[in-house]
């Protein structure tokens, strides 16, 4: 059951506040959960804090299986154009595969809406949408992103060069 008086946890300033808010925001009703396979649906996963806590909460309430479905593609990059969200290092999908995120949040399965599915659902042509946080490609130049891209390319080159032939 959701407490509607607790706001969005991903925009809270520090991890301890996010953890506390998640504990206050959600409660389970054991008889509705125990022995059942559940599908939890959320709009997005930013850091994984809320998803992990909710999955753990329903498991403690006796859920047999917990599957998670997300109504957006993975958030891979910061939003520089309006939403105050985590840095790239804090974004769970920026450095983990879907299977990696699934393991961190302790779900039996995890599925995201595809980029194409999102575009189709909103009914706006892709070229008219900002999908920077989902793709890392922004409609305007973002200072610092070019530098980050160059660092990533250099890191990949170094890793390839270090691999034994």
Three-state secondary structure call for residue 65: strand
Backbone dihedral angles phi then psi of residue 94, each to the nearest 5 degrees: -70, -25
List the chain domain ranges. 15-135
Query: What would be the CATH architecture of the domain defined by 15-135?
Result: 3-Layer(aba) Sandwich (3.40)
**Ramachandran category for residue 18: left, alpha or beta (phi over 0 → left; psi -120 to 50 → alpha):** alpha
pLDDT of 115 strictly over 70: yes
Q: Which of 1-10, 41-50, 68-77, 106-115 has the lowest mean pLDDT?
A: 1-10
Q: Which of 17-31, 53-67, 82-96 has the lowest mean pLDDT?
A: 17-31
- Name which of 4, 8, 26, 30 is nearest 17 in CA terms: 8
Q: Which residue has the higher pLDDT, 151 or 69?
A: 69
């Amino acid at each position: 059951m959701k407490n509607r008086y607790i706001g969005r946890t991903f925009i809270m300033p520090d991890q301890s506040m996010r953890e506390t808010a998640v504990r206050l925001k959600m409660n389970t009703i054991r008889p509705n959960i125990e022995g059942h396979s559940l599908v939890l649906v959320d709009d997005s996963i930013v850091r994984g804090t809320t998803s992990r806590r909710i999955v753990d909460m329903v498991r403690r309430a006796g859920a047999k299986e917990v599957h998670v479905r997300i109504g957006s593609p993975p958030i891979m990059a910061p939003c520089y154009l309006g939403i105050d969200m985590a840095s790239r290092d804090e974004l769970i999908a920026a450095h983990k595969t879907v299977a990696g995120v699934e393991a961190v949040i302790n779900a039996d399965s995890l599925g995201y809406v595809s980029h194409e599915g999102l575009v189709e659902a909103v009914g706006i042509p892709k070229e008219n949408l900002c999908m920077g946080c989902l793709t890392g490609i922004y409609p305007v130049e973002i200072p610092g992103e070019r530098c980050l891209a160059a660092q990533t390319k250099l890191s990949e080159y170094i890793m390839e060069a270090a691999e034994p032939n």
